[in-house]
Amino acid sequence: MSFGPTYQLQCLEQETLRELWRADLPNELGAYNRLEQDGENVFVLAQGRALAFNVATGSRLWATDEFTSFAFFKTFGRAAVTRNGHFDLEWRDASSGEVIAIWGKRDGGFASNVVMAGENVLVEISDNSHRGDGLRLLRVPDALKQRISNATKGAMR
């Protein structure tokens, strides 16, 4: 079944604009609407999910399989924050896509922004219930702290 035009992700050499690689994106309902990049990966955000590609080779690394009203995605070094099909925020390994930790069940509202604040995370919430919009300070999961600590130790050796 085809939902529209076939989209492709291209990597061009900055000086000459020569194509280095090209990757076909899945033909899905909705559009691809944003790119994010860290030092090793490029993330393509679709209407309802994120796809990760290796910057050097263009090989697809992983993709979320949740389809929500819009993709939520933010990177923090070697970790990424996505939203699952139940609208819960989850931490993923940015290179493998492995879910490291989930921030429990959503108690109403939807995250619209996430910012690191020391060893915690500040989440901007949009909420149509009686609680209203606002900011919530959440603790970074221990599993993520441990993974970041181990990665830092490994890089220092």
Residue 106 sits in a domain of what CATH number? 2.130.10.10
pLDDT tens for each residue of the chain, 157 residues long:
555 567 889 999 989 999 999 998 887 666 777 888 888 899 888 766 788 999 999 999 988 875 544 556 777 777 888 877 777 778 888 888 888 887 755 566 666 677 777 777 777 777 666 556 677 777 777 777 776 666 555 544 4
User: Residue 67 has what pLDDT?
Assistant: 53
2, part of any domain: no
3-state SS class at 110 = strand
User: Residue 15 has what pLDDT?
Assistant: 93
* Number of structural domains found in the chain: 1
Torsion over CA: 17, 71, 64, 40 (sign): positive
64 close to 50: Cβ distance less than 8 angstroms: yes
79, part of any domain: yes
78, part of any domain: yes
User: Residue 69 has what pLDDT?
Assistant: 44
User: Residue 20 has what pLDDT?
Assistant: 94
User: Residue 109 has what pLDDT?
Assistant: 64
User: Residue 10 has what pLDDT?
Assistant: 92
User: Residue 57 has what pLDDT?
Assistant: 94
Strands 79-83 and 73-76: antiparallel
The parent domain of residue 64 ranges over 8-156
